[in-house]
Structure 1
Amino acid sequence: MEIFNKALTKTDINVRFSFPTDKIECFAELEEGQSYNVNLKVKDRRQRVWTFSCWKRRNGSHPKPWLSGEWLRFVKHYGLKIGDKVVMVQENDHFLGSQYRIEAKRRIIVLGEEIWADVLMNC
C-alpha cells in the first residue's frame, strides 16, 4: 500500500524530508502519542536497508512529520535532485509486521510522453 509520494524540495534535499501530516497515521508509534520519534527500517529497490528517524513536532496541534537519520545519505547515494519523487510503501507481513519500502523516481520525457523512471544509485 502506498503511504505517500512527494516531489522533493530544496529542504528535502539539503536538510530533512517532510511528508504530509495526514500520513502520520501509518506510523502507529507516532500516531498514538507514544513517542515523538521512531526509527524506521526502510528497504530500497536493491534491498539495502536504510534507517530513517521519523519525527513529529512535540508542541502544537499540527505535528508536521519529517524523516532524518540516514535520509541525507539516501539522497546522496541516489543523487536525488529537486523535483525528483519519493514513494513510500508499507507492506504488512503476518509474521514480521509492517515493512517499509522506498522508491526514488525521476521525471523523464520519452517520445514526447512524461514518465517517472526509477532512479538508479549515483555512480
Structure 2
Amino acid sequence: MEVFNKELKPTDIHHRFSVPSRSLQYIDFAGEFSVDLRVQDSSGELRLIRCRKRHGDYAKPELSKGWRKYVADYELRVGDRVVLLAEEDRRLGSQYRIEAMRTINLFGHEVWGGLPRAN
C-alpha cells in the first residue's frame, strides 16, 4: 500500500523530507512524537529512517535521521520522486519499502524510471 509518493523539493534534499500529512494514518507512532521505520531500499538494504511529527496542533510528519544518507546514496536531486510503500508482515509487523525515481526520455516521451544506488 502506498504511504506517499512525492516529488522532491530543495528542503527535502538539503534538510529533512516533509511527509504529506495524509500519510500519518499509515505510521504507528504509539503515542510518541517519533518512530524509527525499518525501510528496505531498492538495492535490498535495510535502513532505519526516523519519522517524527511536530509538537502542537499541526502534527506534520517529516523524515529526519537516516534520510540524508539515503539522499546521498541515491544521489537524489530536486524533481526526483520518492515512493514509500507499507507492507504488513505477520511476524515482523509493519515493514516499509522505499523507491527513488527520476524522469527519463524513452522514445521521445518522459517516463519515471527507478534509480539504482549510486554509492
Per the shorter chain, which TM-score range?
over 0.9
2:32 aligns with 35
The partner residue of 2:45 within 45, 48, 62 is 48
Identity across the alignment (%): 40
Q: TM-score, normalised by structure 2?
A: 0.95
Letter in 1 for 2:54: R
| Equivalent position amino acid for 1:107 in 2 | T
> Is 1:74 aligned to residue 70 of structure 2?
yes
Alignment coverage as a number of residue pairs:
119
Q: Match for residue 102 of structure 1? A: 98
Amino acid at match of 2:25: E
* Runs of 5+ consecutive residues of structure 2 not aligned to the other structure: none
Q: Could you tell me which amino acid in structure 2 is paired with residue 55 of structure 1? A: R
Distance between the aligned counterparts of 1:63 and 1:88, measured in 2? 19
The CA deviation string for residues 2-37 of structure 1, in whole angstroms up to 9 with x for no partner, is 1110000000000000111011111122xx6x0001
Contact 2:104 2:112 in 1 (8 A): yes
Find the counterpart in structure 1 of residue 13 from structure 2. 13
Moved over 3 A (4+): none
Residue 85 of structure 1 corresponds to 81
Letter in 2 for 1:93: D
Letter in 1 for 2:110: E
Q: CA deviation at 1:50?
A: 1.3
Which letter maps to 1:68?
S
| Cα RMSD after superposing both structures | 1.1
**What per-residue deviation string (whole Å, max 9, x for no partner) do you get for residues 18-74 of structure 1?**
111011111122xx6x000111110001110111110101112x2111001110010
Deviation for aligned residue 1:119: 0.7
Q: TM-score scaled to structure 1, two decimals?
A: 0.92
Once the two structures are overlaid, the 10-residue window that deviates more, 83-92 or 19-28, is: 19-28
State the match for 1:3 in structure 2.
3
